Amino acid sequence: SDCFHNGDLQVLADITESNGMFNLDPLYLGSQNWLSGRLIRIQVGNYFQGGNVELESLPESISTLSSLATLQVDKNSLTALPSDIGNLSNLKELNISYNDLEILPESIENLGNLEVLSLNDNLLISLSENLCNLNTSCEIDISDNFLCDEFYYSCFENFVNFNWNWQNQEECP
């Protein structure tokens, strides 16, 4: 019960190191769930440990977490996601709300098992039409961003639960 996959532990170490948390034991990073030694859920945000944990970046190595089903990194200061985030083939929930994201990586379309995608309250100024390639049963919340109507693709109407509400369109043509 105390065995952890070395590669998964290394990813947690990469997260702590890339965010300047050199004294934090990776096993105490946010809230984690493990199954058969593999990381299946991680939740990290500035609401843990008295507000002392706030991520500014995610390392590319996060895309090697082959068993990860839930990644909740909402309420941080992320400005970008790793370009290979789409390699998380078992990911069912991705919550990246309340960050500082302006764009999403193209590989996000590869998250074929995704059931929940929370992108609300970011700084998104553009959307890739690749989001249309997600499973239409995926619940997507993209409200409270800076998207102009030109990024509202008709394919979103095929999604069972899609929230586009309030967009700051002051800079739109």
Whole-number average pLDDT of the chain? 91
C-alpha torsion sign, points 102, 80, 70, 115: positive
Q: pLDDT higher for 165 or 35?
A: 35
Q: What are phi and psi of 95, to 5 degrees?
A: -115, 110
* pLDDT greater than 90 at residue 148: no
- Residue 115's contacts (CB-CB under 8 Å, 6 or more residues apart) are 92, 93, 135, 137, 138, 139
Residue 1 has what pLDDT?
Answer: 52
Query: How far apart (Å, rounded) are the C-alpha atoms in residues 173 and 126?
Result: 14
- Residue 60's contacts (CB-CB under 8 Å, 6 or more residues apart) are 82, 83, 84
* pLDDT greater than 90 at residue 8: yes
Q: For residue 50, name the pLDDT band (cuts at 50, 70, 90).
A: very low
Residue 47 has what pLDDT?
Answer: 60
> How much is the average pLDDT of 76-95?
96
- Residue 105's contacts (CB-CB under 8 Å, 6 or more residues apart) are 80, 81, 82, 83, 84, 85, 86
Residue 153: CB atoms within 10 Å = 13
Least confident of 31-40, 101-110, 145-154: 145-154
* pLDDT greater than 70 at residue 51: no
* E strand residue ranges, the chain: 31-35, 38-43, 70-72, 93-95, 116-118, 139-141, 161-163
